[in-house]
Amino acid sequence: MTSRMTRREMLGALVGSAVSPRRTAPTAPVSVVRCRSYDSELRPALERLFDQLGGLGRLVKGRTVAIKLNLTGSPTYRLGHRPLGMAQWVHENVVGVVVHLLGRAGARRIRLLESPWSTAEPLEEYMLAANWDPQALANAAPVVEFENTNYLGRRKAYVRFPVPGGGSIYPAYDLNPAYQECDVFVSLAKLKEHATTGVTLSMKNCFGITPCTIYGDGAPEDEPGPFPRGGRTMFHHGHRRPPKSCPQEIDPSSPREGGYRVPRIVADLVAARPIDLAIIDAVESMAGGEGPWIRRSRPISPGLLIAGTNPVCTDAVATALMGFDPMADRGTPPFETCDNTMRLGEDLGIGARDLSRIEVRGTPIQEAVCRFRA
Amino acid sequence: MGSAPERFPMRWPARWRDPSLLKLLADTPINLLLTPADPGLDAVRREARRMGLTCGELVTAQPSRPDQIRIRPRSELEWKAPGAVVAASECVWPSIASESAGSAGPTGVPWVDSNGWFAQLARTLMPESEIWLVFDPPGGTVLRPESYALAVADSEAFGARWVVSLDEQAQAETRLAARIIQVVGDALRFFGRHRAWSGYVTCAVLGVLSDYSGEDRHMAEEILNLLARRHLPFRVLRKTDGKSQFEGLKAIIHPDARPAAREIEQRLLDFVRQGGLLIAGPGWRVREGHRGPEDVHRRFDVFLLGKGRLAIAREPFSDPYLVALDAHLLLGRRHDLIRLWNGGSLNVHYTAERDGKRAVVQLVNYSTRRPAHQVTLGLTTRYRRAWYWELGANKPRALEVRPASQGVELPLPEFAVYAAVELEA
């Protein structure tokens, strides 16, 4: 029997259910493989990663696939001498091989999306500034496109994504249409800690689907701006409102604190724009924060790749692989000053974070843990 | 016949009337004392000459004696009639502007005050002249000796000379002055040893063609300043020079509001037909070509002509920051010759021998402190070997050259003020 209920409708129905979401939130297998470098072992490792999930073909064949990349911060900012892909960004080889494998699995069209900080420049230009080769990515599959979703670009109007259940901070988000015009949405993230949300994985990666023409520090009061200006401190501090034409805050008296707001916004965004495939690059990364601008951040080499079709389950396994407890909540590492985004996602019915309910395929967690805080 | 010895000028403080203070200059390259015409300084001048120093005077009016050197505000310099020495005032004390000091999160790039762009401009427009930059240390602040080293480096790296000048505190404290003069002397000596670099030619794919005069002057000059901040090397182009100056360029900015003369227009259109990009203000008369794809910010009408493009601004240029940004995007970063990571507080000058076999990248750090994050230099030319020079070093050290998808990357050691990377193809 084929359900006619969309995933978004199902999430909406789950919200407010009397049954504990911890027991009822959907669960899906999470695949974990070892991979020590971005060289020749990467491709077979990614093939194995996806094979353990049943292969990519069933998910992407004949479909348009949008991949939200994690390219946080400026492309000219490095952790020491490390190229960005060895620290705060997903590695370009991972992007290239994933694109290639998606194309080989029959994806009709692959779109690489990101909202690079405070700029309307083409995504390819942003990548070039990091010393990436966007042409190589474009050649990795038959149809590969790039889009900067931090503004409207040449499109006509933003698309409104309501949060199932009404939302915690905003009832809906206005996003670039690229996030609607895809059959499969992939979050391609990095395994990192985060100063505001404790960890940044496949869910937190979606913070960057929001355009700064609306949610940026320089957004106008009435309508979205033509070009992005500034970061999304509005989401952190709630000190200003989105333009009047966009959905406004539900409760302006709610806490004006990043550790309260950002996890809720992230969980709501993932509920509003569900992730179909979560991939986490954990071959090389950084510990201590999400970017080199965080003091005491340092390189770390987990040597892993993680993927799953449920972002909460995937992030829960990833969190455990970092040496943290995905069931932990505010006050407990790594969530000392914030709420647990996975818990909020679980409450929304997106997915389970309880490891006892998640099947891990491939390398077991206990054999692969890389403690981010020794 | 040997060439005349280089002159290293210093403005002698008017309050330093004790000739014994001249010993502070011993073992420094400083060999020209510029003193006010004050009889109270006669003894200093006498002793200076006895020590083999030359004495002179900076004046603002037409010189009446051979030892007088006229200072002109740089905004009033007339490029066509330079003297052997062009001493320009209105220069800035090189530094990071105080309002942008410190880190600004994931993307902060500080505002930098530099005379480097002006030195490059003056060197090109007045190639036969020595370019002296006349500026004083700022008052009301305690300056570290590194700030003085920066004043030297920001001038010398770009082909000009700072007329050394001490701040009030240094003038009042001989020990501090001695330390500063030693740092300045070491820096001057370093650049003196590497004078061959100043004969290299700028490596750039972007040129700026302007009259650099009248109402167009400020915009053209500020564009140079802001291109430098993007680490986008530029070549200053002269309207009096022929097409050969366009060789190797991929784009030219013609920022002047005044339309170009027909002959220059034809030269630029030939450049476009052969595959170049011309970026011009709305005063440019589009006589041929057909519309091409829009630019990112929709601030230009883009026309295709021959193998190249004409990008004509829809509004008169008013913000040089945006002109530099748009030029970079219109040109495309795939044409970047140089990239820096963690180099927000740096400016660079990339030059090479005419045959391109040897090159040097000079890096000036306006923070005067070792950076919080190590700097990596990226070059699209795949140089085989590289050597690193820190200011004052007698010997270079070999640098690792790492292959990268866009050329090579060179991890640089930390430096506070200045470093140079010599490269061999």
CATH number assigned to the domain comprising residue B343: 2.60.40.1180
Residue B413 sits at the chain A interface (C-beta within 8 Å): no
Q: Select the residue of A125, A227, A292 nearest B373 (Cβ to Cβ).
A: A292
The answer to whether residues B121 and B252 belong to one domain is no
Asked which of B167, B193, B219 is the last residue of a domain, the reply is B193
The dihedral over CA atoms of A361, A365, A367, A370, expressed in degrees to the nearest 10, equals 130
Tell if the CB–CB gap between B107 and A227 is shorter than 8 Å. Answer: no
A74, closest residue in chain B (CA to CA):
B107
pTM over 0.95: no
Check pLDDT > 70 for residue B213: yes
Least CB–CB distance from A131: residue in B103, B106, B404: B404
Q: How many domains does chain B contain in total?
A: 3
Same domain, B295 and B342: no
Flag whether B4 is in a domain: no
End residue of a domain, out of B309, B335, B361: B335
**Are B20 and B160 in the same domain?**
yes
Q: Do A131 and B374 touch (CB under 8 A)?
A: no
pLDDT of residue A15: 56
Residue B283 sits in the same domain as residue B321: yes
Residues B36 and B132 in one domain: yes
Report pLDDT digits (tens) over A114-124: 999 889 999 99
Q: How far is CA B288 from the centre of its chain?
A: 37
**Contact: B405, A118; criterion CB under 8 Å:** no
Is there a single domain that holds both residue B14 and residue B116? yes
Query: For A121, which of B105, B329, B405 is closest by C-beta distance?
Result: B329
Q: List pLDDT tens digits, range B320-347.
A: 999 999 999 999 999 999 999 999 999 9
> Measured between CB atoms, does B422 come within 8 Å of chain A?
no
Query: Does B3 reside within a domain?
Result: no
Amino acid identity, residue B153?
Answer: A
Instruction: Please identify, among B335, B356, B371, the residue that sits at the C-terminal boundary of a domain.
Output: B335
Structural domain contains residue B2: no
What pLDDT shows up at residue A2? 41
The answer to the question of residue B353 being in a domain is yes
Residue B373's pLDDT is 79
Q: Are residues B76 and B182 in the same domain?
A: yes
Q: B243 and B150 in one domain?
A: no
- Decide if B40 is inside a domain: yes
Cα dihedral value A241, A245, A251, A257, nearest 10? -30
Answer whether residue B112 shows pLDDT above 60.
yes
Number of Cβ pairs < 8 A linking chain A and chain B:
75
pLDDT band at B109 (very low <50, low <70, confident <90, very high): confident
- Assess contact for A286 and A298: CB atoms under 8 A: yes
All residues at 6 or more sequence positions from B231 whose CB lies less than 8 Å from its CB, including other chains: B338, B339, B340, B343, B346, B347, B348
- Kindly report the CATH number assigned to the domain that includes residue B258: 3.40.50.880
- Same domain, residue pair B150 and B39: yes
Side chain identity at B105, as an amino acid letter?
G
Closest to A267 (Cα-Cα) out of A353, A172, A343: A343
Integer Cα distance of A229 and A216 in angstroms: 6
Q: Are residues B367 and B357 in the same domain?
A: yes
Residue B198 lies in a domain: no
Instruction: Give the range among A246-260, B281-295, B328-342 with minimum mean pLDDT.
Output: B281-295
The whole-angstrom separation of Cα B44 and Cα B245 is 48
Task: Answer whether residue B31 shows pLDDT above 90.
Answer: yes
Q: Å from A357 to nearest chain B CA?
A: 37
B71 belongs to a structural domain? yes
Q: What is the residue range of B398's domain?
A: 337-424
B56 and B142 share a domain? yes
pLDDT, residue A214, reads 98
Report chain A residues touching chain B, CB-CB < 8 A: 72-74, 76-81, 83, 92, 117-118, 120-122, 125, 128-129, 131-133, 136, 154, 227, 231, 291-293
- Does A16 score more than 90 pLDDT? no
User: What distance in Å separates the CA atoms of residue B195 and residue B184, rounded to the nearest whole number?
Assistant: 16
**B88 is written with which tokens?**
């320009």
* pLDDT value at A34 more than 90: yes
Q: Does B106 contact A227 at a Cβ distance shorter than 8 Å?
A: no
CB of B146 within 8 Å of a chain A CB? The answer is no
Nearest to B296 among A77, A122, A136 (CB): A122
Q: Which residue of B has its CA nearest to A127?
A: B333
pLDDT tens-place string over residues A187-199 = 999 999 999 999 9
Residues B21 and B144 in one domain: yes
